[in-house]
């Protein structure tokens, strides 16, 4: 899976996979997921990592459950996470902390709800 890294005042850069994010995790300000239930491109949504230095990391995910499993890595525990559903603005998002009790509760509930929506 390829990803794009956007740095301020530089051209977008394609990176091979999620390894770039793992190698650079220390600079992450927050992570997020934009959910696209009606996507015609066979993706569930887009994982975003925003860095304190202004860099943005973007990658598509075909499976929301795989993305959430991947985010449960120990290095990401405690990072802020923003979930944006369709028709929500950045001001109307849900914020969580990866790994805490609310994250785990919402993670299970949201995934079940998303799967229900996808099957309609």
Average pLDDT of the segment spanning 96-110: 76
Q: What pTM does this model have?
A: 0.79
Instruction: Read off the pLDDT of residues 57-100 as tens digits, 9 standing for 90 and up.
Output: 999 887 777 887 888 889 999 999 887 766 655 565 778 888 88
Instruction: Read off the pLDDT of residues 3-26 as tens digits, 9 standing for 90 and up.
Output: 999 999 999 999 987 889 999 999
pLDDT at position 110 is 62
User: Distance (Å, rounded) from C-alpha 58 to C-alpha 36?
Assistant: 14
Q: CA dist 11 to 48, 55, 81, Å? A: 18, 12, 26
Structure tokens at 114: 């998303």
Residue 8: phi and psi, rounded to 5, are: -55, 135
């Amino acid at each position: 899976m390829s990803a794009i890294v956007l740095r301020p005042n530089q051209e977008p850069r394609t990176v091979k996979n999620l390894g770039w994010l793992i190698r650079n995790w220390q600079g992450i300000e927050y992570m997020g997921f934009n959910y696209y239930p009606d996507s015609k491109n066979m993706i569930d949504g887009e994982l975003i990592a925003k860095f304190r230095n202004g860099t943005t990391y973007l990658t598509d995910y075909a499976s929301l459950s795989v993305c959430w499993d991947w985010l449960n890595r120990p290095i990401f525990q405690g990072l802020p996470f923003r979930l944006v559903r369709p028709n929500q603005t950045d001001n109307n998002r849900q914020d969580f902390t990866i790994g805490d009790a609310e994250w785990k509760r919402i993670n299970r509930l949201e995934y079940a709800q998303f799967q229900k929506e996808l099957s309609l």
